[in-house]
Structure 1
Amino acid sequence: MEYIDPILGIVNAVDDKTGILDVRVKTEDGTHINVEIQLLNQYNMVERTLFYWSRLSNSQLKKGQNYRNLKRTITINILNFDYIDIEKFY
């Protein structure tokens, strides 16, 4: 497993939002994993998770590469608040 720089940005887009991940690693099989830890509910977890996940996925390909080169991208959210409003979930 390799720890990777947690800053997500796009080189050609100066005005784009930059994301800073809590933990970003790449496994031996190339899977990208992001672990996010949130203590306070900012009511944006779905949007935030999708934003970070898409940046991780997008960062894997260079111009001209085939989409088949994409490796799995996994996000794990550790939350200090109830996010899913159901009694029983796994």
Structure 2
Amino acid sequence: MSEAKFIVSHPAGLHARPASVFVKTCNSFPCDIKVKNVTTNSALVNAKSILSVLTLGVDSGHEILINASGEKEADVIAAIQELINTNFGENV
């Protein structure tokens, strides 16, 4: 199992388009991936479900925890780190 924490710096947080990109990225990996909003102490939810991710209410500046287990779990962490670093591919 791999875990990592990240601060979401996108101005919209993890809502709408950023959440869609996040979920699409997670779905490209075969392992089980969970995400938690550490800032609000939410439950771990399925990172491959757009509805679950949106219910977390991740705003800009919130810390999230990624929990990946299974095949390519380390690659998931690296891919999410890249998403965070590039503001989910948006110029904001």
Whether TM exceeds 0.5 here: the answer is no
Higher relative contact order (CA 8 A, sep 6+): 2
Per the normalisation by structure 1, the TM-score is 0.35
Per the normalisation by structure 2, the TM-score is 0.35
* Structure with a larger share of its residues in helix: 2
Give the greater-gyration-radius structure (CA): 1
